[in-house]
Chains A and B, each alone.
Chain A
Amino acid sequence: MAFHDDLRRVRAIAWKDLTTERRSKAGFNSVVALGVTILVLFGFALGPDAQALRDAAAGALWLAVLFAGVLAFNRSYQVELESGALDQLLQYPGPRWVIYVGKLIANSLFVGLMLVIVVAVGIALFQVRIPSAWPALIAVFALGAVGLVVLGTFYAAMASRSRAREVLLPLLLFPMLVPVLLAAISASKALLGGDLMHEAGAWVKLLAAYDLIFMVATLWAFEYVIEV
């Protein structure tokens, strides 16, 4: 019965975050706009050479998603801080992981939707040819997004307890994301190039392992970062 109540709490938090985001719209629009702007800037920096654009596409896409994601993670706790709602949230009975998982679900949907738009724009902008192994490419994007959201949601909670939260989040998050980004960019680049060396599989396994490790570690540690 207690676990059923906890699942209701998870659903309530995810619903609350998604509903407030859907109604305010400002957050999603600005996150997508930032992602697309970064892609355009990369496009300008790389110049008109189509092959150079294609070669850099994987890295540019993931960095655009990363920077836009940071904005999204900061926002997900900003809603709690605006009118002291975090204090109320922490006073409800039940384990703290329900808050983390609820926000994780909401952030996953939010970042997932942003990822779809940014990738679609990136494919058009960088003249990327869709590879025959496109289902594997989708799996790489999904696994990379999970790693990003797991760590982003966790470190945003930690940063939310600080006054310098906007500065603190990227400082905490970026170093921890290096293995996820490395694996995601390498796997994406291999698949976009036809995976001639059959290296994508190893990167995907590494990415899945990182996701699993970070998921377990952050679920365990969340209570200690959200309580003061």
Chain B
Amino acid sequence: MVIEQSELAIQAQGVARRFGARWVLRGVTLAVEPGEIVGLLGANGSGKTTLLRIFGTLLKPSAGAARIYGHDVVRETDAVRAELAFLAHTPGHYDDLTARENLRFAAEMLGQPAGTNLDAALERVGLGHVINERVRGFSAGMQRRLGLARLLLRHARVLFLDEPYANLDAAGIALMNQVISEAGQAGGAALIVLHELAPAAGMLDRTITIENGRVSATGPAPVPRVRIVPPARAAAQAGGRR
């Protein structure tokens, strides 16, 4: 089946980026379809985070084009920002605000209604007991969970996750996988920067490896993704088979 460009969730065509005289990306071309969850692998300094930051509108490519659902990341930044959620390697919280205040700030910046249930998001990521505590006292894992709560607020169709499992305990990893899985089932796409495949076992459709700023390999995930069919759809499929 030929996929139309606008149908692709994530697309890069010859994306290059340099910092001073050093080329970090040297022409990356890749595509991710809606519903696909893809792991982005590569050694330190291979350009994975730079590529994610270009998709996330935080850096402009020096050459080439990147698109999210057909929207150009340079010319249509507002449309792109409305589609994506980005979990960066750094937490991005305000240390002197509480967990709830950080989320309320994010909700207001996202233009969400004043009555948005922020506590539910914090409860879901296991921070219900520290809602009114300042982030300054949070461990790295708790800050990661707060980042996940902020990610949940966005209801985005595309997730960009930069080493999402860093600093998370087993329960945190399971929670992260649940969120990624739900996004995939809802037809969303995800591009996940990984150093280890183990925490994402059974989550990925395929992997893309970047080496020296170029895509060096692409292939199916070693442990194929387990697609959970929603009960309603499973019943319909069973009915159709009878």
**A-side interface residues toward B, CB under 8 Å?**
5, 8-9, 11-13, 15-16, 19-20, 23-24, 79, 82-85, 87-94, 227-228
Contact = CB atoms under 8 A, between A and B. Distances in A.
A19 B86 CA distance: 25
Contacts of A16: 94, 97, 105
Contacts of B90: 83-84, 87
Interface size class of B (residues with CB under 8 A): 20 to 34
Nearest to B87: A88
Given A8-B111, A82-B95, A87 B58 contact: yes
A11 to B, nearest CB: 8
Interface string B59-101: 1100000000000000001100110101011111111110001
A5 B95 contact: no
A68 B201 CA distance: 54
B52 to A, nearest CB: 11
Contact of A91 (B58, B91, B97): B58
Contacts of A82: 95
A84 B88 contact: yes
Contacts of A83: 90-95
B50 to A, nearest CB: 12
A207 to B, nearest CB: 34
A94 B109 contact: yes
A93 B81 contact: yes
Contacts, number: 78
8 contacts: A12-B105, A12-B109, A20-B97, A82-B95, A83-B94, A88-B88, A93-B82, A227-B77
A12 B108 contact: yes
Given A92-B110, A93-B78, A85 B94 contact: yes
B110 A93 contact: yes
B56 interface: yes
A20 B134 CA distance: 10
A5 B97 CA distance: 22
B59 A91 contact: no
A29 to B, nearest CB: 15
A85 B93 contact: yes
A8 B108 contact: yes
Given A85-B94, A91-B56, A93-B111, 7 more contacts: A9-B109, A82-B95, A87-B86, A87-B90, A89-B109, A91-B81, A94-B111
B57 interface: yes
Given A9-B109, A90-B58, A85 B92 contact: yes
A15 B111 CA distance: 16
A83 B143 CA distance: 11
Contacts of B111: 5, 8-9, 93-94
Contacts of B95: 20, 82-83
A20 B96 contact: yes
A87 B92 contact: yes
Contacts of A20: 94-97
A46 B104 CA distance: 51
Contacts of B134: 23
A87 B59 CA distance: 10
8 nearest CB pairs, A to B: A84-B90, A88-B92, A12-B108, A92-B109, A5-B111, A23-B96, A20-B96, A84-B92
Contacts of A87: 53, 56, 58, 86, 88, 90, 92
A88 B177 CA distance: 22
Nearest to B56: A91
A85 B106 CA distance: 11
B81 A92 contact: yes
A94 B95 CA distance: 24
Contacts of B108: 8-9, 11-12
Contacts of A88: 88, 92, 106, 150
